[in-house]
Structure 1
Amino acid sequence: MPTTQSITLPESVPLYIQSELVAFPYMMITLYLRGADLSVFEESRKHDSLLAIFMRREEHQVELAEALRPIGTVCKLVELTHLTSDGSTKITLEGLARCTIQEMVEESPVPLAKLEIVREFYEKNIVTDALVSSLSALLKIALSYGRPLPEDVMKMVDYIDTPARLADLVAIYCNLPPNQLQEMLETIDPVERLKKVYLHLTEDIQRLQIKNEIQSEVSRRVGKTQKEYLLREQMKHIQEELGEEDPRNAEMNELRKKIESATMPQEVRIIADREIKRLDRINPSSPEYTVSRTYLDYLAGMPWQKGTADNRDINEAERVLDEDHYNLKKVKERILEYLAVRTVKDKMKGPILCFVGPPGVGKTSLGKSIARALGRKFIRMSLGGMRDEAEIRGHRRTYIGALPGRIMQEIFRAGSNNPVFMLDEIDKIGLDFRGDPASALLEVLDPEQNSTFTDHYLDVPFDLSNVMFITTANQLDPIPPALKDRMEVLQLSGYTAEEKEVIAARFLIPREMEENGVSGETTRFGEAAIRAVIDNYTREAGVRNLQRNIASICRKVTKEKTQGKPERVEITPAIVEEFLGPRKFFNEVAAEADRVGVVTGLAWTESGGDIIFVEATRMQGKEELILTGSLGDVMKESARAALSFVEANRDELGIEATSVAGMTIHIHVPAGSIPKDGPSAGITIATALVSLLKGQPARRDVAMTGEITLTGRILPIGGLKEKALAARRAGVKTLLVPARNRDAMEDIPEAVKNDLEFIFIEDAREALLNALKQP
């Protein structure tokens, strides 16, 4: 390595002027220049391969000599190689000594200057020796704290005892900014330079020490989750460097796009944005990540502004309703009214309809037909046996596995904010310690509130006012009054035999023949066979059992065909009896003779109307009234009221005093295993008592219904249509009905009116005149 005394400079040396590069003596410098001006280095070959590196001042100067810092470094060009791989040039320089500019020789095209070597002097003493040894020790301490130093540098440090060279060497590896390095270069006194380097290195070690202490403390506190997070962040950085996309980033970007396109209300969008920022900070392996991600999926997937266009062609809607269901005029009329209003008013609240009727009359299938007529999506949700309020309102997002309520889940799956939503069996909702689902439905089924329905899980309002809710029930009594008040009740009564014939021919038989592999071209059902199935094998308000019996016949036809037997061309009543066995129902009224103390009454059940027989008898004993037949409290009270009326009007009714005195009266209603209740059998019980006490037979072809008071007035009853249909099925000819039920006659089918004689009564005496056979 040449010393400053042995360096001989030519008359002029090229200057390589830089803003960031500071060269020191004894320093090897490697540059990679691409497309740069190499004239300075080419020129140096003409000047003994020497050039000088000077740093430009920060402030702007006009003259070049004034624009340069006073001290630079003379360097020797060791190597200049043009690389073909990337088109760059590799330049290797060796720092020789400090220098100053005596005068500028030339400024363009290549700056040339006359230079002078800066001579360094120091006196070796105890202070310099202590500084050199202390600096060497500090370097080793820095290395122990993680300061990266090449091995050859550490070996050099052990052998360098010259303060100037040691100071320059340490300054290079102190990571000082260019301005401080230039100041170090301009410090000519080696001892002073050694002191500055010592201070810089001490500060550097202190920073390293504090950093290590902090890292140790953080490492001690950081658990497994944080460590995984750091590793993932490093992995993400590595993937970015490699040009690979992080799967989690792709997932988050996709989720952001879904939220962007969900057209949420502004207040919901704010919550979604806040939640996705929170999700981005959660470790994917954390259970909380799954909860937050599921919540965002529901928010992004809800149809906030997405719905289906209604079919506003009323005639087409009417055609669809008639095609799917026979009769049901009131329901169809209500749907067409709703469509008519929709054609003139875009924004209107969806109706809340409640279909009430016996099983099998088509309540649920009617909902599907309405959805098809409107062109909307159809959702059906069964409420039977539901006891948990969370099924309606959802769970709070406080635990893993929380989900929205069924209302929001079904709308999420449908992808429409205006479906036809059928809540089936609303009268069979339960109640227990988990809450009251019926109360939770109050907000859902209230047109004034459901525009801001808030599910516990989503915790943001959702507009349900566009949804057309339809509920179904077999009876209204179990429905809470507050919930009943929110719904428009439409009664669906049972079908007449004629209506069942049409339904069977138009809907049931074609469907069952297709499902059971019976060809309609070779086999047909005769009208007499259909009537035989209706009269002899089914006694119901709906058509469910009728459908089962038709399916049974079709299956047996298919079985015979597969066995190679002759194919049945026409199903006749004889074939019906062959396939279905002996008839199950008989004309109960026509099969019995008129008897004393036995009167035909009518009852309403969940399955429609039915006939009942009230039997009364007497026997010697203490004067008391015995009631049997699984009667409810209301019916027992009606029996006592009927007996009080008879005893109070004994003389007027022509009953002898001895017929009651000392007698035990027993009233029985057959089918004792079936619970019976209600006040409408009051007039029937009174007629049976009068028939018994007077010994006057009651006409079995006369049926009656009505509540009786102590004075004999007849009060109105419910379910007249169902009771009239039951009377007709049983072969009754005359029906005694309370006069205040006259308005209900408009619901009675014309076929029933033609077959039955309706007599409207206001007093029990009128019933007795028409029901008892006159002597």
Structure 2
Amino acid sequence: MTEREVRSLPMVALRGMTVMPEMVTHFDVSRERSIEAIEEAMQEEGQKIFLTAQKDIEVEEPTAEDLYQVGTIASIRQIIKLPRNLLRVLISGEERAVINTVEFETPYMRANVTVLPDTGEEALDASADQVSQEAMTRGLKEIYGEYAGRLPKYPKDMLKQVQEYTDLAKVVDWIAANVPLEQKDLQELLEETDLLKRYQLLAFKLVNEMQIMNIKEEIQTKVRERVDQNQREYILREQLKLIREELGEENTISDAEEFQAAADKLQASDEVKEKLQKEIGRFKSSLNSPAENGVIRTYIETMLEMPWDKATEDHKDIVYAKQVLEEDHYGLEQVKERVLEFLAVRALTRKGESPILCLVGPPGTGKTSIARSLARALKKPYVRISLGGVRDEAEIRGHRKTYVGAMPGRIAAGIRSAGVKNPLMLLDEIDKVSNDYKGDTFSALLEVLDSEQNYRFRDHYLEVPLDLSEVLFVTTANTLQTIPRPLLDRMEVIEVSSYT
């Protein structure tokens, strides 16, 4: 048999390491059998040793099943003895070989191995001319040069050294031995004896590694930019904080944070939340304008205090309602009977379908007290709004917040003071309302009382829809003569005559 076919060599099992042909490297050995194998190899001709990798690095005494079958025949160049019975061995990888048998009875492991030639060389010579081989060799060198050039602190002389090789097989093995690939990738390249496949496999792994580098660089660039931006923002915020402290504006930041926390907890429609977030953003950016800042602060506080989704449950006990009316009023039997009928109808109808109750009678006949008793009977918050002498539409709809001293209209303010969206709201002396050049007050009231419109009543100050469909409206009047017909058609009139 020739030298390339079968050999019997001392063997060392490496942990976490694969040695390739054309690789010059060193490793430390501490296991007794490995030290014996190194010393035996040094006594033999050529100082050759067979190196293979363990499948599991935790195994202390490997068997044949624990070893990869393909390894590398290497020459020992140097041995250095280290403290604690360690040997540092410098080797040079030469040829691939596969294990036939392993002798474990000797003080060291000895392997009978068969040298593995490159099976693709004959096919390469038959199918490709010298120019094609040269093109493949140069292409692989270019890929290696691009890859190695992107590695930090990679020795520049290595890029020159690879240019000395012209044989494709040696170029493939040398590059594989001198780039930082993972062990599983090196083992895969070591076990591949087909030169063409090994060439393609190495080229793919190098290109894949460069793609991974590109992705990592993109991520690192984005992270670096974000960190730089965060540091810049932090420095600017700290400077701004000191400036605000000097100007006495530090409370504004804490107020904005409190507003944001309250807005996050607010139960309201998306339209309301979106408007609130926009105003909080304006509040944060209006520090240099105290007047504007104060207007926005008042608006945000008003929006947060509105009971957008808070409601009480109606008490629909007619017997209890009759008891309350009897306790609060003597006589007025017909009026109390009509009120109880109204409550009975309301209990059986859907939200917003019951008419508005209108109590009509001379002053001092108990109209307002009946409304208050009605609220107590239903266990609802009671809100009274006096309309006597109101002639400005803005009293109902509110003033736009661009005006100095703007505030919500009386309806929205009443809802706010009640703390729920379904109180009993008494519109007192509705017959005393009048119109002038500032707007049509009765038209504004019509929108408030009309069930087809009031579920999206828009107060000029709030600038978002306000649902009034669950409010129980009760009106009082001394006469029906001054109430417009469209408004009167939406009311159930109960006459409250004077006591006799």
TM-score, scaled to structure 2: 0.50
CA contact (8 A) 1:430 1:437 kept: yes
Shift of 1:233: 6.8
2:435 counterpart (431, 438, 443): 431
Match of 2:151 in 1: 59
Match of 2:416 in 1: 412
CA RMSD of aligned residues (A): 3.1
CA contact (8 A) 1:262 1:303 kept: no
In the aligned structure 2, how far is the partner of 1:479 from the partner of 1:239? 56
CA contact (8 A) 1:443 1:449 kept: yes
Match of 1:375 in 2: 379
In the aligned structure 2, how far is the partner of 1:269 from the partner of 1:251? 18
CA contact (8 A) 2:346 2:354 kept: no
Match of 1:276 in 2: 280
Q: Deviations over 1:146-198 (max 9, x none)?
A: xxxxxxxxxxxxxxxxxxxxxxxxxxxxxxxxxxxxxxxxxxxxxxxxxxxxx
Match of 1:296 in 2: 300
Structure 2 residue 241 is the aligned partner of structure 1 residue 236: yes
2:426 counterpart (411, 422, 425): 422
What amino acid is the match of 1:299? Answer: M
CA contact (8 A) 1:351 1:468 kept: no
**Cα distance change on mapping 1:393 and 1:445 into 2, 3 Å:** same
SS in 1 for 2:416: helix
CA contact (8 A) 2:355 2:490 kept: no
Shift of 1:454: 0.7
* 1:238-387 aligned within 5 A: 246-283=250-287, 285-341=289-345, 347-349=351-353, 351-387=355-391
CA contact (8 A) 1:262 1:301 kept: no
**Cα distance change on mapping 1:411 and 1:490 into 2, 3 Å:** same
CA contact (8 A) 1:308 1:418 kept: yes
**Cα distance change on mapping 1:455 and 1:64 into 2, 3 Å:** same
In the aligned structure 2, how far is the partner of 1:440 from the partner of 1:481? 14
SS in 2 for 1:470: strand
SS in 1 for 2:357: strand
What amino acid is the match of 1:467? Answer: V
Match of 1:3 in 2: none
Shift of 1:315: 1.4
Shift of 1:246: 4.3
1:442 counterpart (446, 454, 458): 446
Q: Deviations over 1:100-136 (max 9, x none)?
A: xxxxxxxxxxxxxxxxxxxxxxxxxxxxxxxxxxxxx
Match of 2:200 in 1: none
Match of 1:461 in 2: 465
**Cα distance change on mapping 1:435 and 1:232 into 2, 3 Å:** farther
Q: Deviations over 1:268-296 (max 9, x none)?
A: 21111122112211125431112222122
Match of 2:46 in 1: none
What amino acid is the match of 2:279? Answer: E
**Cα distance change on mapping 1:234 and 1:351 into 2, 3 Å:** farther
Match of 2:131 in 1: none
CA contact (8 A) 2:351 2:469 kept: no
In the aligned structure 1, how far is the partner of 2:306 from the partner of 2:430? 25
Shift of 1:360: 1.3
**Cα distance change on mapping 1:432 and 1:233 into 2, 3 Å:** farther
In the aligned structure 1, how far is the partner of 2:243 from the partner of 2:443? 56
SS in 1 for 2:336: helix
What amino acid is the match of 1:476? Answer: L
CA contact (8 A) 1:385 1:428 kept: yes
Q: Deviations over 1:430-488 (max 9, x none)?
A: 33322232222111111221111111111211111111111111111111222212211
Shift of 1:58: 6.5
Q: Deviations over 1:33-63 (max 9, x none)?
A: xxxxxxxxxxxxxxxxxxxxxxxx9714677
* 1:484-499 aligned within 5 A: 484-496=488-500
* 1:119-134 aligned within 5 A: none
CA contact (8 A) 2:252 2:287 kept: no
In the aligned structure 2, how far is the partner of 1:260 from the partner of 1:439? 36
In the aligned structure 2, how far is the partner of 1:495 from the partner of 1:455? 40
CA contact (8 A) 2:375 2:424 kept: yes
In the aligned structure 2, how far is the partner of 1:341 from the partner of 1:284? 57
In the aligned structure 2, how far is the partner of 1:294 from the partner of 1:435? 26
SS in 1 for 2:425: strand
In the aligned structure 2, how far is the partner of 1:415 from the partner of 1:66? 80
In the aligned structure 1, how far is the partner of 2:480 from the partner of 2:347? 32
**Cα distance change on mapping 1:494 and 1:60 into 2, 3 Å:** same
In the aligned structure 1, how far is the partner of 2:268 from the partner of 2:461? 17
In the aligned structure 1, how far is the partner of 2:301 from the partner of 2:288? 15
TM-score, scaled to structure 1: 0.33
Shift of 1:339: 4.1
In the aligned structure 2, how far is the partner of 1:250 from the partner of 1:349? 45
SS in 2 for 1:282: coil
2:397 counterpart (387, 393, 397): 393
In the aligned structure 1, how far is the partner of 2:254 from the partner of 2:354? 40
In the aligned structure 1, how far is the partner of 2:353 from the partner of 2:461? 25
SS in 1 for 2:436: coil
SS in 1 for 2:421: coil
CA contact (8 A) 1:263 1:305 kept: yes
Match of 2:456 in 1: 452
SS in 2 for 1:274: helix
CA contact (8 A) 1:395 1:456 kept: yes
CA contact (8 A) 2:365 2:497 kept: yes
In the aligned structure 2, how far is the partner of 1:282 from the partner of 1:349? 45
Q: What 5-or-longer segments of structure 1 have no aligned partner?
A: 1-56, 68-229, 497-775
Match of 1:499 in 2: none
Give aligned pairs, total.
Answer: 275
Q: What 5-or-longer segments of structure 2 have no aligned partner?
A: 1-148, 160-234
In the aligned structure 1, how far is the partner of 2:332 from the partner of 2:267? 40
* 1:631-650 aligned within 5 A: none
Shift of 1:330: 4.3
SS in 1 for 2:407: coil
CA contact (8 A) 1:306 1:417 kept: yes
Shift of 1:400: 2.1
Identical-residue share of aligned pairs (%): 51
**Cα distance change on mapping 1:344 and 1:402 into 2, 3 Å:** same
SS in 2 for 1:306: coil
Match of 1:44 in 2: none
What amino acid is the match of 1:332? Answer: K
**Cα distance change on mapping 1:284 and 1:306 into 2, 3 Å:** farther
What amino acid is the match of 1:469? Answer: F
